[in-house]
Amino acid sequence: MNTLDTPSKHARRDVLRLAVPVMLSNGTVPLVGIVDTAVMSRMGSPEWMAATAVGAVIFSSIFWVFGFLRMATGGLVAQAYGADNLQSTSRISIRALLLAFLLGTLLIALQIPLLKIALFAMDDSGEWQGLAADYFYVRIYAAPATLCMYAILGALIGLQRVRAVLGLQLLLNLLNVLLTIVLFMATDLGIKGVALATVISEYVTLAAGIFLIKDLIAAALKETAFKNWVLDRAALRRFFTISGDLFIRTLCLTFAFYWMTALSAKQGVIILAANTVLFNLVHFASYVMDGYAHAVESLTGFAIGKKDTKMLKRSVSASVYLASISAIVFSIFFWLLGEPIVNLLVAEDSARQMALDWLPWVIAAPLFGIWSFLLDGIFIGATETRSMRDSMLISLACFMISAAVLVPSFGNHGIWISYFILLVVRALTLWLRWPRIVRATQQLEHG
């Protein structure tokens, strides 16, 4: 990446200070999916694994479409924090929280058409669709809590309160894992128990999150003319402009992941089950390395708020250096331990063997994926969301074309090649626009 300074030890310490707690917390996120898959694999049929996988993908697709609540809030709060504007940080957080609650309630109201749309493109043979519906109609009631947590996490990341983020994520994911195991062993709820564990965990964590930002909430509520500043046109216009770009970007990205699952389902339930395990491993590495994206997001926004170009370059350079090392470590980890991990997670013989056949894709994924994760963090912190939107539109087009061409000829390998094309195009298109952020920060600094 050009226009970078040599990373100093101080800059690397700043990145690690913010990245490590997020990496630890994010590392527990795929643990939920891994445990869910392991539990359902004990039901004696790959149908249960497939249903759980599809249900989880549906919700990650639906919820992460609203990921702008975290990203827009995080970028705006980081810039306000860098500018020492504490009133603005409070107002941004409250607006995002109110919007998240309204959107979550709307998702519950639209649950029937949402499920029909989600299952439309998938193969309807077998009983897994009925099981996926059982999962869906329970977990949908977590929507308000999930979206409100996006807003809370965005505020905490923008304020560089990463230990609080770590605590909330650990609470959410470890409680979810514990409840999943307890409900599976102590009840006959089956896949509904897996979904119920998530719902309970989300609302418990939301209560904890509200407690952690109680000072922000109290400061906002104490202000006079509450309605006037909540509905301030200029502030809302900026938030919705940024959110609109991020919405389109995230919609494209989640559709790509959804389409990979749909293509896997069309290849058959065994391939779907095998890819579920491999996707979980990739997501594990992605979530952990995304800690660098969160760190550079916060530091980028803070540097821009401070109007400090040197700070911006040092932060980005340190993040690139550390993230590159982590990507190599993850690839080595999957190369050495991927096979025993797959053997541990998958009880069904045919699905396990297929997962092992395609394990090399997982080994290579961190080396290709880290760059788009980092660049996303930089552009979110800079609130340069139009570039993110355009990049993702181009990347999705390349992904869909490659999938249409390669999957009929190469089957599951075609799905994975298309995924790697998506990663590379995302990184390249954002990298070409990085100098724009540097120039904009220099103009602020000298303006």
Q: Are 35 and 284 a contacting pair, CB within 8 Å?
A: no
d(CA 315, CA 7): 7
The torsion angles phi and psi of 130, rounded to 5 degrees, stand at: -65, -40
One pLDDT digit (tens) per residue for the chain, 447 residues: 555 555 567 888 888 888 888 888 776 665 666 676 667 666 656 677 677 777 777 787 788 788 889 888 998 999 998 888 888 888 899 889 999 999 999 999 999 998 888 777 665 555 677 777 888 899 999 999 999 999 999 999 999 898 898 899 889 988 988 898 888 888 888 788 888 998 999 999 999 999 999 988 888 777 767 677 777 788 888 888 998 998 899 889 888 988 998 898 888 888 888 888 898 889 888 888 888 998 999 899 999 988 899 999 999 999 999 999 999 999 999 999 999 988 887 777 888 888 899 999 999 999 999 999 999 999 999 989 999 999 999 999 999 999 999 999 999 999 999 999 999 999 999 999 999 999 999 988 886
Q: Are 65 and 254 a contacting pair, CB within 8 Å?
A: yes
- pLDDT reported for residue 382: 92
- Residue keyed to tokens 């409840």: 179
Tokens of 5: 């300074």
d(CA 251, CA 271): 25
How many Cβ atoms sit within 10 Å of the Cβ of residue 21?
Answer: 22
- pLDDT reported for residue 377: 92
Return the amino acid letter for 220.
Answer: A
3-state secondary structure of 306: helix
Q: What angle do CA 274, 335, 60 make, to 5 degrees?
A: 45
Burial 335-366 (b: 16+ CB within 10 A, else e): eeebeebbeebbbbeebbebbbebbebbbebb
Q: Where are the domains of the chain?
A: 9-446
